[in-house]
Structure 1
Amino acid sequence: MSGHNKWSTIKRKKGALDAKRSKMFSRITKEITVAVKEGGGDPEGNPRLRVAISNAKGVNMPKDNIQRAISKAEKDGDALQEMTFEGYGPEGVPIFIECLTDNNNRTVSSIRSIFTKRGGSLGTNGSLSFMFDRKGVFTIPKGDIDQEELELELIDAGAEDIEVNDDTIVVYTPMADFGRMQKKLDELGIEAENASLQRIPNDYKTLEPQMAMKVLRLIDEFEDNDDVQNVYHNIEMTDELMKAMEEND
């Protein structure tokens, strides 16, 4: 019986990973579609498409899938529109949601419904603008390049913060310097594992793990929605909260 249970657990985890991968591919496909519609299907002349392709490679999206997405967008890509939503979850946690959708009414209804069902409230656009700064965030492999020399190059290209992790370096830039940093990485022959404009909170809110988990379940539900690209919040990911998340995984 224990062997059967173990196999069920493995299947469940694999299913969750497959679903997560499928969601990532779907998000990137939408990014590619919007990029192609905005600037054409040639990545050399379309910086947004170049970033989307780089992100696709970063999550191991097959080359054929990337090319199919570009070709489809060039022929008859969906008329996707960018939408944002701002609101509050339980405990007054601010939540900023970015969407790409081909049906505005459906998306508005879904987002409002999730907020209401999970004890949150949908606010007006602009109500959270003072709580988040939009910044360029680049995750690059550490590699063998001289770290001190690299940091000087990155600072010269507009980096305002650099985090060095075990295998990667995360670089933060002002939104206005996103393109400049991308160009610098191209010059250095460095391919980012991920590059995007993200909304970084100006300060963080610490919650008891039980309450934080309630808010994170709300965020999970938003992220499961097909129209949602990104969800931002300001919950402090404390060691205690990380442990609670692992126990509930």
Structure 2
Amino acid sequence: MDRQALHDYTLTIIKEAGERIRKSFFETMYIETKSDANDLVTNIDKETEAFIVKKIHAYDESFRILGEEGMAEEEISSLEGVVWMVDPIDGTMNFVRQRRNFAISIAIYVDGVGQAGYIYDVVADELYFALKGQGAYMNGQRLSPLEALPLNEAIVGINAVWATPNPRVEHEGIIKLIHTLRGTRSLGSATLEIVAVATGRMDAYLSFRLSPWDIAAGIIIAQEVGAVSSTLDLNAVNLLNQDTFIVANPSIHKELVGDYITLK
């Protein structure tokens, strides 16, 4: 597999997909719910994923694809071989309500190892990417390695799900953490929150339930600047099923999980 040729091709795919989404702002949108009233999908999500799937298979029909909307119509039960992970619009609620703060996410894994990750903030026209061992970039400019900081100076991405009757996390530790931090943020798009950690705009992002396509590209990009990813019980990231997730500046990663976050 010619990694540079595939990289160039993927950049073309994601930019074309972004242009299609921008044009969709002037078209009729059809909105459906999935697991609950806050889990939305639009015709644009499906059309964008179908477009990306078609482009990937035009390059090599043997590539397997794990996409949020299932447009590849294949079952992925292992990460053997070349597996693409695609989220056509991460942050669909933002897409529907705000027309911003959403992104396209594409990742390429080979035998379970992340080789390339791409996140495109469509409205801001910011394209983040990383090739394994070659650094991370935003619009061609290399991102700097993360600098260490104490937890009380950190900004952490966390949404309001922690405050619900979540059977997996102890609330007291999260409350203590919030009082310790310099601040918290919630962007409504996991891919953009991971990018915020990779750029140093935030210092960690944690979630109690994410799917592989939410994180697959972001962890490759974040790793190239020194960030650490794991589940909230410090296991390896799960790229086949939903699981807890944290990506953080390495100077605060274990302190965050070990001292404040307790899973039941």
Query: TM-score category by the smaller chain?
Result: under 0.3
- Higher strand content, 1 or 2: 2
**Greater C-alpha radius of gyration:** 1
Q: What is the TM-score normalised by the length of structure 1? A: 0.24
Higher relative contact order (CA 8 A, sep 6+): 1
**What TM-score results when the alignment is normalised by the length of structure 2?**
0.23
